[in-house]
Homo-oligomer: A and B are copies of this chain.
Amino acid sequence: MASSPPSSSSSSEEATTSSNGSASVVQFSKYSRRATLRSIVGRPDGGLGLSGKRAVVGGWVKSANVVKAKRGGGAMSPPRMPATDTTGLTCTEVLMARVPLIRCIAKLIAGASTVDKASSSVSYKLGPVTALVRINDGSCVPDLQIVVDSSLCPLEQVTAIGASVLVEGKIELVEGKNQKRVVELRVDKVLHIGAVNIDNKYPLPNVELLPPDELIKDYPQLAPRTTAMASAARVRSEMVHAAHTFFQTNGFFHVNTPIITTTTVAGDRRKMFRVMQPTSKSDNRAITPEVVRASIKAKTKQIEALERSESNKEALEAAELDLQRASELAQQLEQQGSADFSDDSFQHPLYLSPDHILHLETYACALSSVYTFSPAFQAESLEPNKHLAERWTIDAELAFAELEDAISCAVDYLMWLLCTVSKNCSDELKFLSTKENNGNNFHINSVVSSPWERITYNEAVNTLLQVKDKSFEAKVELGMPLSLEHMSYLVDDYYKKPVIIYEYPKQLKPFYARLMEDETKVSAFDIVVPKVGIVACGTQKEERMDKLTARIDDLSLPRDQLEWYLDIRRHGTVKHSGFSMDMEQLILLVTGLDK
């Protein structure tokens, strides 16, 4: 029968102890051949309660130190060992390595029985050479120190940064006071070592912090092993889970909208990625030079019409681009006679969807409350570095809901996200704010404790126009977009808290935003957060068929591409509103990082 329903987020992870005292072991993680570090050093007591238990643990080496048990012989590095971090060593450890005689005397005085006393700290016998190795398996921020004797394996293998180890041993209290570390594992069996090839020195110099950009570019596959990247990944995972929990709890249904699309009106087509289907020899399209010439003629007329009418610049540019492509194709065809267009050129060019809003509406107008967590594609720049081309976004859409409802939902969601993540990822957030953020500790509480400001676009512009002590690069003017600098001034300097800006001039928002009574503004909002910028954009959608088609015609958008979208209004239209959030922006919001 099925596994019993999970009750808490760490139930199966938690280390449990068997009832028969000294033979007790820390249970394996479910589906894995070791206990996770989260179930040992990730416990609130740092592993204290597990002292004396046996455990199998695995992980990758973060740092290591070798202590040689010779009189006067201090900690020394083996040949070829990468730079190690010795700050983690306790005084006791060093002392024990340096003065074995003292240790032996202490042991004799204390008597042999202390060795088996599980709940007190243990004096173990250090071999002639012993490695103190900090490992981490990516399940939590703290590392576990394992103590490996040279009789068990060649120490240079187990001390090489990046090596993976799977070892068995006994959890023991760390002697002395060490705020960071309560227990360590005294290894008595090495089960597996994934060595680091000596010829291929581990390429990341720092196992904690984010690698420099050029190393991330060369070794993206190893970057998640740094504490910083792993912490960010765990925070992101918690955020994804929190998103699903929030929406499912509030009666939303998760849907997936198409990613390959023929609709180009949602985003800026010049930034959209085109998709080519695999070539097939049997798949020849009958595109002749005549067809293309006719198409060019039609497109030219369209551009002339656009130039005559008072239309928007984007539509005209798109049409010109279209014409240009047609001309290039015509040229090719003239030379070759015919072409095999694997991408269905002209017929149904395919693109990667730049957002999910239009398709999400079709689900909202059937299931009422829906959300999606999907990738959206847009070439942010034409530079070779296109890291931001894929953006995962969270989009929600509600039927029978107006702008105010979408704002409430977006605000509640952000609050929920901040509270959940700050509760469940406190170690990660602390690490990131102190190590990666130059000690600039980011207080989520300051964002969630005071009510957020709500202002209209007009109020925002008027506030900016009255600013005397600062000059903006972009001119502040009613009807013009707010620049990043403008928004930063409002949230960072003026209100000093998140600001919800709503009621935008219609030319600043997409065609589907609902026209307000004055016919110049639309029901739309942005949530702007200090240091991060815009984290959410939302709109109430235009549900009135006549207003929507008028707007489409005004903007000279290709009506034929939108017939399916208009169908939602034709057949039982409903007021609906929604919002979109960019996952990467949310991560900046939650972690307080600035990159």
Chain A residues within 8 Å of B, Cβ to Cβ:
1-3, 5-6, 8-13, 29-34, 36, 38, 58, 60-61, 137-139, 162-164, 166, 192, 194-197, 200, 202-203, 219-222, 224-225, 229-230, 233-234, 236-237, 240-241, 244-246, 248-251, 253-256, 258-260, 270-280, 282-283, 325, 332, 335-336, 343, 352, 362-363, 365-369, 374-375, 377, 379, 382, 386, 389-390, 392, 398-402, 405-406, 408-409, 412, 415-416, 418-420, 448-449, 543, 545, 564-565, 567-575
Give the distance to chain B from A267, nearest Cβ to Cβ, in Å. Answer: 11
Cβ A6 vs Cβ B246 within 8 A: yes
Cβ A367 vs Cβ B249 within 8 A: no
Give CA–CA (A272, B278) in the complex, Å.
6
Cβ B221 vs Cβ A564 within 8 A: yes
Counting from the closest, the 9 A-B pairs by CB-CB distance are A6-B249, A2-B415, A224-B366, A138-B367, A194-B573, A237-B253, A164-B572, A31-B409, A274-B276
Given contacts A31-B412, A36-B251, A58-B574, 11 further A-B contacts (CB under 8 A): A2-B415, A2-B418, A3-B412, A29-B251, A29-B369, A196-B570, A219-B564, A222-B571, A236-B254, A275-B276, A352-B352
Cβ B194 vs Cβ A543 within 8 A: yes
In the assembled complex, which residues on chain B have CB atoms less than 8 Å from the CB atom of A282?
A: 382
Cβ B240 vs Cβ A574 within 8 A: no
- Residue in B closest to A445 when the chains form the complex, CB atoms: B1
* Cβ contact of A137, chosen from B31, B194, B368, B379, cutoff 8 A: B368
Q: List 26 A-B contacts (CB under 8 A).
A: A1-B448, A6-B246, A6-B250, A13-B250, A31-B406, A32-B400, A32-B401, A34-B400, A60-B574, A139-B251, A139-B369, A163-B572, A164-B574, A202-B571, A221-B564, A221-B568, A222-B362, A230-B366, A234-B253, A256-B375, A259-B377, A259-B390, A274-B276, A277-B382, A278-B382, A375-B375
* Cβ contact of A30, chosen from B12, B250, B389, cutoff 8 A: B250
Give CA–CA (A172, B29) in the complex, Å.
54
Cβ A448 vs Cβ B283 within 8 A: no
Give the distance to chain B from A348, nearest Cβ to Cβ, in Å. Answer: 9
Give CA–CA (A233, B405) in the complex, Å.
24
Give the distance to chain B from A476, nearest Cβ to Cβ, in Å. Answer: 31
Give CA–CA (A195, B382) in the complex, Å.
46
Give the distance to chain B from A36, nearest Cβ to Cβ, in Å. Answer: 6
- Residue in B closest to A199 when the chains form the complex, CB atoms: B570
* Cβ contact of A273, chosen from B34, B225, B277, cutoff 8 A: B277
In the assembled complex, which residues on chain B have CB atoms less than 8 Å from the CB atom of A406?
A: 31
In the assembled complex, which residues on chain B have CB atoms less than 8 Å from the CB atom of A2?
A: 412, 415-416, 418-419, 448
In the assembled complex, which residues on chain B have CB atoms less than 8 Å from the CB atom of A164?
A: 365, 572-574
Cβ A571 vs Cβ B3 within 8 A: no
Given that A6-B246, A255-B233 are contacting pairs, would A1 and B400 also be in contact in the complex, using a CB cutoff of 8 Å? no
Cβ B3 vs Cβ A61 within 8 A: no
Q: Which of A139, A166, A571 has the most CB of B within 10 A?
A: A571
Given that A194-B543, A274-B276, A572-B196 are contacting pairs, would A368 and B254 also be in contact in the complex, using a CB cutoff of 8 Å? no
Given that A12-B249, A34-B400, A251-B139 are contacting pairs, would A162 and B572 also be in contact in the complex, using a CB cutoff of 8 Å? yes
In the assembled complex, which residues on chain B have CB atoms less than 8 Å from the CB atom of A256?
A: 375, 392
Cβ A399 vs Cβ B248 within 8 A: no
Cβ B200 vs Cβ A58 within 8 A: no
Give the distance to chain B from A77, nearest Cβ to Cβ, in Å. Answer: 19
Cβ A379 vs Cβ B58 within 8 A: no
- Residue in B closest to A201 when the chains form the complex, CB atoms: B571
Give CA–CA (A277, B139) in the complex, Å.
37
In the assembled complex, which residues on chain B have CB atoms less than 8 Å from the CB atom of A392?
A: 256
Cβ A10 vs Cβ B273 within 8 A: no
Cβ B571 vs Cβ A9 within 8 A: no
- Residue in B closest to A344 when the chains form the complex, CB atoms: B384
Give the distance to chain B from A41, nearest Cβ to Cβ, in Å. Answer: 14
Give CA–CA (A334, B5) in the complex, Å.
66
* Cβ contact of A379, chosen from B219, B244, B277, B418, cutoff 8 A: B277
* Cβ contact of A368, chosen from B138, B400, B449, cutoff 8 A: B138
Cβ A60 vs Cβ B255 within 8 A: no
Cβ A278 vs Cβ B240 within 8 A: no
Give CA–CA (A413, B564) in the complex, Å.
38
- Residue in B closest to A420 when the chains form the complex, CB atoms: B5
Cβ B200 vs Cβ A570 within 8 A: yes
* Cβ contact of A271, chosen from B248, B259, B270, B278, cutoff 8 A: B278
Give CA–CA (A412, B229) in the complex, Å.
30
In the assembled complex, which residues on chain B have CB atoms less than 8 Å from the CB atom of A253?
A: 138, 233-234, 237
In the assembled complex, which residues on chain B have CB atoms less than 8 Å from the CB atom of A220?
A: 362, 564
Give CA–CA (A408, B420) in the complex, Å.
30
Give CA–CA (A560, B350) in the complex, Å.
30
In the assembled complex, which residues on chain B have CB atoms less than 8 Å from the CB atom of A192?
A: 574-575
Give CA–CA (A245, B5) in the complex, Å.
9
Give CA–CA (A331, B343) in the complex, Å.
20
Give the distance to chain B from A559, nearest Cβ to Cβ, in Å. Answer: 15
Give CA–CA (A448, B575) in the complex, Å.
43
Cβ B273 vs Cβ A260 within 8 A: yes
In the assembled complex, which residues on chain B have CB atoms less than 8 Å from the CB atom of A219?
A: 564, 567
Cβ A251 vs Cβ B30 within 8 A: yes
In the assembled complex, which residues on chain B have CB atoms less than 8 Å from the CB atom of A564?
A: 219-221
- Residue in B closest to A224 when the chains form the complex, CB atoms: B366
Give CA–CA (A172, B4) in the complex, Å.
40
In the assembled complex, which residues on chain B have CB atoms less than 8 Å from the CB atom of A362?
A: 220-222, 224
In the assembled complex, which residues on chain B have CB atoms less than 8 Å from the CB atom of A139?
A: 251, 367-369
Cβ A32 vs Cβ B369 within 8 A: yes
